[in-house]
A and B are shown apart, each in its own frame.
Chain A
Amino acid sequence: MDKIAHESDVTHHYLRPKKKFPNVWCAGCGNGIVMGALIRSIDRLGLDKDEVVVVSGIGCSSRMPVYLDFGTLHTTHGRALPFATGVKIAKPNMKVIVITGDGDALAIGGNHFIHACRRNIDITTILINNKIYGMTGGQFAPTTPGGSFATTAPYGNYEKQFDAVKLAIGAGASYVARGTVYHVQQLEKLIEGAIMKKGFALVDTYSNCHTYYGRFNKEGDAVAMLDWFKKHAVPINVAQKLPPEKLEGKFVTGLIHETNATEFCEEYAMLVERLAAKES
């Protein structure tokens, strides 16, 4: 009981004093779970509130920064990463965290996503991936599996699905992880690792949109969808030992990829130093 009371205090400490509640999310939405996980990660890392900037685009998940007591920048659809890039380059000592949805990051913002990965700029991106456009009422997204139903895929989706993790690895991100809103403790650790990583970090976070995705695809309510995550997630260390056929229909979670490439702002700072040395 003490632990819960403590966590509640922690959560309230990082929510805006002039609370903008109730929030815009449906009851049972995974966005709140991610917000809680993010708050606890930041608290555990002991970051100064004034050192954190949270940037988002447009969509259900992108409404999160409004509730958080940091510097928060709620931008245009798909463009959170370039806004965050401007913030980070101008003030490299700040911790810049991007909250984005799957449509925001991978459809309209796809170009920015790959280039942020390529630059390996020190931004933590939490991609809340619910496989559908929630805010506009349930249209298919680049992450919607083939055959799934959505308001713009009334006969089943005939497009291919994007894998954000593979995309980020291919594009040069230096920390690539996947979590779910069921595996909250794992998610907190992944977010912590992502924030601490010097370089571009992605946490592809599977979340439930029972209101649209679950309803259209007969996956049940929020609890049923969390249960699905529980049953289908395979931790990376287990997955590595399994033959591919055993992973059919499942998905891999945990820290999937990590490298130590130089980070964009550090590289730029070295250039400035080099030029200054030449002048003097």
Chain B
Amino acid sequence: MKNNTGNARLLQGNEACVLGALYAGVRFFAGYPITPSTEIAEGMARELPKIGGKFIQMEDEIASIAAVIGASNTGCKSMTATSGPGFSLMQENIGYAYITESPCVIVDVQRGGPSTGLPTKISQSDTMQARWGTHGDYTAIALAPSTVKECFEETVRAVNLSERFRTPVTVLADEVLGHMREMMIVPAKGELETIERHKPDVPSDWYRHFEITPSFVSPMASFGDGYRYNVTGLIHDQDGFPTANPNEIKDKLDKLRKKIERYTDEIFKIRTDMMDDAHIAIVSYGTVSRSARQAIKIARERRIKVGAIQLLTLWPFPDLKLREMFGGIRKIIVAELNMGQLVNEIKRIAPRHVEVHSLQRYDGEVMAPQQILDKIREVK
């Protein structure tokens, strides 16, 4: 894998994540080996030292995300990659990143669970963990690619969103996507937008590390920049000092929510196929969306008016935008590789006249187009 851009390459999903991260400006990676994400750490170990970036293999996933957050607070775009068990171990410190508003990216190449589960098999059973994995109230951002090209693009977007909103962002890939190879044109430098975090321009005496601004996103100084401030996982005031004041507690938690929820439309990203005249919509994300696209193509040949909606942004959940899209739909099939995690979100927002069906698979195999076709036939 060479780090040259602007050309056609045959790449694994995991390799595309590495290239996407480097493209977006990630210069710090800390991780711990875990199947099926390990190629990301291996790629980073190979590429980062060549460009003066920093790679470290930590003693576990808890330490990995801790080091990532530490590095992020020095102003460095930072990332880790893992799979289910490691993602579980990281959760406490991911919560720390939320409350300290430390930008970072976690790529979770999903495998089956619970526990050690199915190390080498596909799953989408971390969908809710990406939203509610750590304790407490917060609003999460999670993105879900379905192709190698999207692995690249969504990793770039994850880095951008994390820097833009000062928050952790999860990329939910999966085992099949991580390991499959596809041809992709690696974008040339400047072709995709890359975002830098907003730095303070006030004198150090005026600087407040957690200032509640009109956009709710605070400019972020780095350690060593001449701004001295406190960062803590305790609920804190705008200066970063622990507080037990009810107003300050509420303000802080509202800030964490509003700085993301207000921008749901900006974070929103979907791909639609044949939805213009569709009566049935297949809603899916990740690798399942590939099967959905194949299934609707076959169904259309049989004159069934079915379309597909692929969610590239899973969280924050785009309630309003999706509800608009469901206006002309009679039936929705939510296809996912778990026991039904996203389907309840769709049920929550679907208009009353729309039937919502759940299509689940959780035996470690991919969702075959035929399985989706069968479901279309069953519900139509």
Interface residues of A (CB under 8 A from B): 16, 18, 20, 49-51, 53, 55, 65-66, 69-76, 79, 81-91, 93-94, 111-112, 115, 268, 271-272, 275-276, 279
List of A residues within 8 angstroms of B59 by Cβ: 82, 111-112, 115
Q: Is the CB of B62 within 8 A of A66?
A: no
Contact A87-B70, Cβ < 8 Å, known A73-B231, A94-B223: yes
Contact of A71 among B67, B223, B233, B239 (CB under 8 A): B223
Chain B residues with CB under 8 A of A84: 70
B34 at the interface (CB under 8 A from A): no
What separation, in Å, do the CA atoms of A173 and B75 have in the docked complex?
Answer: 28
Cβ 8 A contact of A86, one of B66, B96, B224, B232 = B66
Name the segment of B50-58, B112-120, B252-260 touching the other chain. B50-58
10 contacts between A and B (CB under 8 A): A50-B226, A55-B70, A71-B223, A71-B228, A71-B229, A72-B229, A74-B234, A89-B71, A94-B224, A111-B63
Report chain B residues within 8 Å CB of A69.
228
* B116, chain A: closest CB distance, angstroms: 19
Nearest neighbor of A271 in chain B, beta-carbon distance? B49
Query: What 8 additional pairs, Cβ within 8 angstroms, besides A85-B58, A112-B63?
Result: A79-B66, A86-B28, A86-B30, A86-B71, A90-B78, A112-B59, A115-B59, A272-B52
Instruction: Tell me the smallest distance from the CB of B66 to a CB of chain A, in Å.
Output: 4
Bound-state CA distance A89–B233 (Å) is 22
Are B67 and A83 in touch, CB under 8 angstroms?
Answer: yes
Given A71-B224, A89-B54, decide whether A82 and B70 contact each other with a Cβ distance below 8 A.
yes
A-B contact count (CB 8 A): 131
Taken residue by residue from 213 to 244, chain B's Cβ proximity to chain A (1 for < 8 Å, 0 otherwise) reads as 00000000001111011111110000101100
**B60: interface (CB < 8 Å):** yes
Complex partner residue of B71 from A87, A112, A272, A275, CB under 8 angstroms = A87
A74 to chain B, nearest CB (A): 4
Could you tell me if B49 and A87 are in contact, using CB atoms closer than 8 angstroms?
no
Q: How far is the CA of A5 from the CA of B74 in the complex (A)?
A: 36
A-facing mask of B19-62, CB < 8 A → 1, else 0?
A: 00000000010100000000000000000011010101011101
Tally of B interface residues using CB under 8 Å? 42
Name the one of B52, B224, B242 contacting A91, with C-beta atoms under 8 angstroms: B224
Q: Which residues of B contact A72 (CB under 8 A)?
A: 228-231
B69 at interface (Cβ–Cβ under 8 A)?
yes
The contact of B93 among A71, A76, A94, by CB within 8 Å, is A76
Quick check: B96 and A87 within 8 Å, CB to CB?
no
Report the minimal beta-carbon distance from A51 to chain B, rounded to whole angstroms.
Answer: 7
Pick the most buried of B75, B226, B231: most chain A CB atoms within 10 A of its CB.
B231
- Provide the bound-state CA to CA distance between A91 and B54, in Å: 10
Q: Would you call B69 and A83 a contact (CB within 8 A)?
A: yes
A50 to B228, CA, bound (A): 7
Smallest CB–CB gap between B200 and chain A, Å? 14
Please give, as numbers and ranges, the residues of chain B lying within 8 Å of A86 by CB-CB distance: 28, 30, 66-74, 78
CB contacts (< 8 Å) of B248 on chain A: these are: none
How far apart are the CA atoms of A232 and B184 in the complex, in Å? 70
Q: Contact between B28 and A89 (Cβ–Cβ < 8 Å)?
A: yes
> Residues of B contacting A55 with CB < 8 Å?
70
Interface members, chain B 302-347 (any A CB < 8 Å): none
A65 with B230: in contact, given A86-B78, A112-B59, A115-B59 (CB under 8 Å)? Answer: yes
7 pairs of A and B residues whose beta carbons are closest in the complex: A86-B70, A86-B67, A82-B63, A82-B66, A90-B71, A71-B223, A74-B232
CA distance A71 to B28 in the complex (A): 20
Is the pair A75, B233 in contact by a Cβ cutoff of 8 Å? Answer: yes
Highest count of chain B CB atoms <10 Å: which of A70, A87, A272: A87
B52 and A85: CB pair below 8 A? no
- Closest B residue to A80 by CB, please name it: B66
Q: Are A74 and B233 in contact (CB under 8 A)?
A: yes
List, in ascending order, chain B residues with CB within 8 A of A90's CB.
28, 54, 70-71, 74-76, 78
Residues of B240-285 contacting chain A, CB below 8 A: 241-242
**Are B223 and A76 in contact, CB atoms less than 8 angstroms apart?**
no
B28–A91 contact, CB under 8 A?
no
Q: Which residues of A contact B239 (CB under 8 A)?
A: 18
Q: Shortest distance in angstroms between B225's beta carbon and chain A's nearest beta carbon?
A: 8
In the complex, what distance in Å separates the CA atom of A73 from the CA atom of B234?
11
Interface centre among A16, A74, A84, A88 (most CB of B within 10 A): A74
A66 CA to B233 CA, complexed, in Å = 12
Report the Cα distance A50→B204, complex, angstroms. 11
Q: Which residues of B contact A53 (CB under 8 A)?
A: 223-224
How many Å from the CB of B57 to the closest CB on chain A? 10
Measured between C-beta atoms, what is the minimum distance from A218 to chain B in Å?
A: 34
A177 to B229, CA, bound (A): 30
In chain B, what residue has the closest Cβ to A121?
A: B56
